[in-house]
Structure 1
Amino acid sequence: MNKVMKVKMMLILVGICLTIHMPKGYSQSTEIAQLLLNVAKWEALQENLKTLKKGYEVLTKGYKAVKDISEGNFNLHDAFLGNLWQVSPTVKNYKKVSEIIQTEIRIIKEYKSGFQQCLKSGQFSANELDYLERVFKRVTDESVENLDELLMIITARQMRMNDEDRLNAIDAISVDMESKLSFVRRFNASNQTLLFQRIKQHSDLELQKRLEGFPE
């Protein structure tokens, strides 16, 4: 027997006792009705409390579910961003990585070769040599910056990028490095042309001087 039934039985017994022992003139039916009404109110209160409890449990479970989902999404998001710090073998083994390094080596080698040729020729003034050196230095400084960026792209925990972005960035560096190498070659070719012209002019002048020194 549950608590509600026990209370009902107790109130019925109380009502019977009141009916037997209550003095005449007292409204027995009214008292019993009031007691039964109180039982009904108590039952209703119990049901309300149960409903509130169920509602709280549903709310709690719902909040927990939302919280778990939210944390789950955050964990997935965090894991995704964490993966962006990593560098896949596809990026590390991309052929243009080694090509960029080889291009840098050619830039330095051809720059030094061209500058040394102008320096040893004796056909360029100090100001001209200073200008050539500054131009070469600017190009090599920019190419070194490209290598620094490349190193960051292919090194884990340096840049947050997916594979496609990393490969696109490497492609852009490759294009820029090839452009710099082409510039160094054109610049060297231009200086070499000027050098040959001056050597020829000097040779022609020396020949003219010798011819002018011969007796008629």
Structure 2
Amino acid sequence: MKKRIKTLLLTAIIAFGAADHCRAQSVADCIRQLALDYQKLASLKSILGQMYTGYDILSKGYRAVKDVSQGNFSLHEAFLNGLFIVNPTVRKYPRVEDIINDQAMLVSEYKTTWSAYQSSGKFSPDELSYMIGVYNNLVDATFKNLNDLAMVLGDGQLRMSDAERLGVIDRIYLDSKNELSYLRKFNDQAGRTLAQRKQAQADKQIINSLYGLNP
């Protein structure tokens, strides 16, 4: 399933890259829809699992029924099964939306800056190779964050309390903020380098023009 999400996200990113007017909001909508599709599949898996569990209990016959009637089974199971069901309040936690928006912004900003740096002609092949390595690591982290978010929001995926789910979401939120902050610092540094090299080239052209030198 994780590989499926990554494939779908890659397809979405490539599709958005084909249009220069793509904005971060449209990327966010795509990611949001993919997350919903994942949750639907997770819900279906949960339903099938519950059907199998029900059949398994019935097949065990009298002993299981007796345990339930005596309270040795139902209370414990009800509590544990409840931990599989995500409270709507958790799904509406504001940081869920923040995470999706941050991840969409990261992808959008990475694509824009990478295209500019790659086409500038001011970076060596080794420098470009280093850049794409940094970007790939950040995108991989994005896929992991979104997969973790889908898991913690999906019914029947993880046995966790609401507090534990919120704790995971908080961790993903901080990771997302740190990754976006790192991307922007990296892009700022690369942008300053690009500006300096363009200025150096312009200065050289002025000097060549003043002294009649060939470039």
TM-score by length of 2: 0.65
SS of alignment partner, residue 159 of structure 2:
coil
Query: CA–CA distance in 1 between the matches of 2:176 and 2:195?
Result: 28
In structure 2, relative to structure 1, the CA distance for the partners of 1:72 and 1:138 (3 Å cut) is same
1:186 aligns with 2:185: yes
Deviations 1:64-109 (A, max 9, x none): xxx9699524321111111111101111111111111111110001
Deviations 1:11-52 (A, max 9, x none): xxxxxxxxxxxxxxxxxxxxxxxxxxxxxxxxxxxxxxxxxx
- Higher Rg: 1
Matches within 5 A, 1:36-115: 72-115=71-114
Query: CA–CA distance in 1 between the matches of 2:157 and 2:179?
Result: 26
Return the letter of the residue paired with 1:195: L
**Structure 2 equivalent of residue 169 of structure 1:** 168
**Structure 2 equivalent of residue 125 of structure 1:** 124
In structure 2, relative to structure 1, the CA distance for the partners of 1:147 and 1:71 (3 Å cut) is farther
Query: CA–CA distance in 2 between the matches of 1:81 and 1:88?
Result: 14
Query: CA–CA distance in 2 between the matches of 1:183 and 1:123?
Result: 22
Instruction: Give the gaps of 5 or more residues in structure 2.
Output: 1-65
Number of aligned positions between the proteins: 148
In structure 2, relative to structure 1, the CA distance for the partners of 1:129 and 1:69 (3 Å cut) is closer
SS of alignment partner, residue 87 of structure 1:
coil
Deviations 1:94-130 (A, max 9, x none): 1111111111110001111111111121101122111
**Identity across matched positions, percent:** 39
Return the letter of the residue paired with 2:162: D
**Structure 2 equivalent of residue 25 of structure 1:** none
Q: CA RMSD in A?
A: 1.8
Runs of 4 or more, structure 1, over 3 Å off, are: 67-71
Query: CA–CA distance in 1 between the matches of 2:139 and 2:193?
Result: 23
In structure 2, relative to structure 1, the CA distance for the partners of 1:210 and 1:153 (3 Å cut) is same
Query: CA–CA distance in 2 between the matches of 1:201 and 1:102?
Result: 37
Return the letter of the residue paired with 2:170: D
The one of the two structures with greater contact order (alpha-carbon pairs below 8 A, sep at least 6) is: 2
Query: CA–CA distance in 1 between the matches of 2:180 and 2:105?
Result: 7
Query: CA–CA distance in 1 between the matches of 2:86 and 2:68?
Result: 29
TM-score by length of 1: 0.65
